[in-house]
Every structure is written in C-alpha cells, then in structure tokens.
Amino acid sequence: MKIGDIKGFNPQLAKLTEINKSKDDSFGEMFTDFVKGVNGDQKDSIKMTEDFITGKDVELHEVMVSSQKAKTSLDLLMELRNKSLDMYNELTRMQ
C-alpha cells in the first residue's frame, strides 16, 4: 500500500504550504480559507454522525474517518494558533 504525503490529507494544508507567486492572495486570505476548511470538516463530521444515528446509509468506518479528519484538522489549527501567539509574545519581548 502506497502512503501518500500529508498534502493529500487536507487540501487546505496543501494551500498553506505552497509558495504563492501571485500578489493577489495574502497570508490572511490563505489562513481564512484554512479556518473555513476546518469548519467545513467539523460540519461534515457532525452531519455524517447524525446520518449514522438516524439510520441513513452511512458506514461506521466513514463516520470514524470523518471524525478523525475533523479532529486532526482542528488540532493543526490549534497548534498554528499557539505557535502564532508564541511568536507574537517573543516579538513583543524583543521590543
């Protein structure tokens, strides 16, 4: 079984890691898109869980994969936030 790279896991992560050559997209826009993607993952997980509970045609493994994807993307977002706050605090100490 071939193991793919981390960019295949979350398309928003791939967008964050790309070197953007156009001046139209800013880091803020990319980060906003990433946050929206994380929110979408959370909503998809909730909907899939509700569909499974109500007896719709959803397999348990699909529910678990969706849940883990939402959890992992949220964990990544929290780590980005924590590192950004650490960077900000370090910059304010340097002044």
The pLDDT, as a whole number, for residue 28 is 83
Nearest by Cα to 14 from 42, 41, 33, 40: 33
* 95 residues of the chain, pLDDT tens digit each: 555 555 556 666 666 556 545 555 687 888 899 999 999 999 999 999 999 999 999 999 999 999 999 999 999 999 999 999 999 999 999 87
Domain ranges of the chain: 28-94
pLDDT at residue number 87: 94
Spell 35-64 as b/e; 16+ CB within 10 A means b. eebbeebbeebeebbeebeeeeebeeeebe
- Its pTM stands at 0.69
